[in-house]
């Protein structure tokens, strides 16, 4: 991972602001960390890789599914024009809104809801990133992608996935080979059923 824009964006966002205070000393270790509600902030390497694979340009409108801590959204906000981030858990959405506004990421909007249904209000998106793992790519997300737009989604079972990249072309979609990854479950209408967790 060596894209200079992505590196600069990551350098500008202190990860410790996005993890609970008790974990500040491990904020820069290269693994995921708990952020409350049984959810995690992704491993820095994965955030870097996803940021690079999304190929964000300064005019881009980006959709993230799974705001979590807000860390990935903060990095995207440095690279894109507008970022919309959907989180299903109200307490996490609230927490992320507060840190993002405290850190002046004013081009990020956090929406509470089921991101597997996408966010038609602001579509189409130049880039869509799903940061939770589902059984398949939610179809509406593909439909909400602009021509030339990139989508990243971890697809697999609840414990292990492959990070799939899709690019929308003039006449369809192109799938690029993914890498193995582990994300928390994508829970929703086009994801895993809510098992009360």
Active site residues: 42
Q: Is-contact 137 113, C-beta < 8 A?
A: no
Angle at 72 between CA 133 and CA 98, to 5 degrees: 115
Number of helices (H) and strands (E) in the chain: give both, helices first: 5, 9
Hey, is 163 helix, strand or coil? strand
Binders of ligand SAH among residues 63 to 122 (CB under 6 A) are 65-66, 68-69, 71-72, 86-89, 92, 114-116
Q: Encoding tokens for residue 143?
A: 């439909």
Q: Is 172 or 196 the residue whose CB approaches ligand SAH more closely?
A: 196
> From residue 128 to residue 167, what is the string marking binding to ligand SAH with x (rule CB under 6 A)?
---xx-----------------------------------
Binders of ligand SAH among residues 28 to 57 (CB under 6 A) are 39-42
145-156 sheet: strands from edge to edge:
108-112, 82-87, 61-65, 125-130, 145-156, 161-169, 172-181
Cβ at position 170, least distance to ligand SAH in Å: 30
Cβ at position 149, least distance to ligand SAH in Å: 19
Q: Is 121 or 171 the residue whose CB approaches ligand SAH more closely?
A: 121
Which residues contact ligand SAH (rule: CB under 6 A)?
39-42, 65-66, 68-69, 71-72, 86-89, 92, 114-116, 131-132, 184, 186-188, 191
């Amino acid at each position: 991972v060596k894209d200079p824009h992505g590196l600069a964006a990551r350098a500008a966002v202190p990860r410790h602001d996005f993890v609970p205070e008790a974990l500040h000393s491990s904020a820069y270790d290269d693994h995921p960390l708990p952020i409350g509600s049984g959810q995690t902030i992704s491993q820095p390497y994965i955030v870097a890789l996803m940021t690079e694979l999304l190929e964000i340009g300064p005019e881009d409108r980006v959709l993230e599914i799974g705001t979590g801590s807000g860390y990935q959204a903060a990095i995207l906000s440095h690279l894109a024009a507008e970022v919309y981030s959907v989180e299903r858990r109200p307490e996490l959405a609230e927490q992320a809104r507060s840190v993002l506004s405290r850190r002046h990421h004013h081009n990020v909007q956090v929406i509470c809801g089921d991101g597997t249904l996408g966010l038609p209000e602001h579509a189409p998106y130049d880039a869509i990133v799903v940061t939770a793992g589902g059984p398949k790519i939610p179809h509406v997300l593909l439909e909400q992608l602009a021509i030339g737009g990139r989508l990243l989604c971890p697809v697999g079972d609840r414990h292990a996935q492959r990070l799939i990249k899709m690019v929308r072309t003039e006449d369809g979609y192109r799938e690029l080979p993914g890498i193995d990854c582990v994300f928390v479950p994508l829970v929703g209408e086009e994801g895993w059923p809510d098992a009360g967790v």
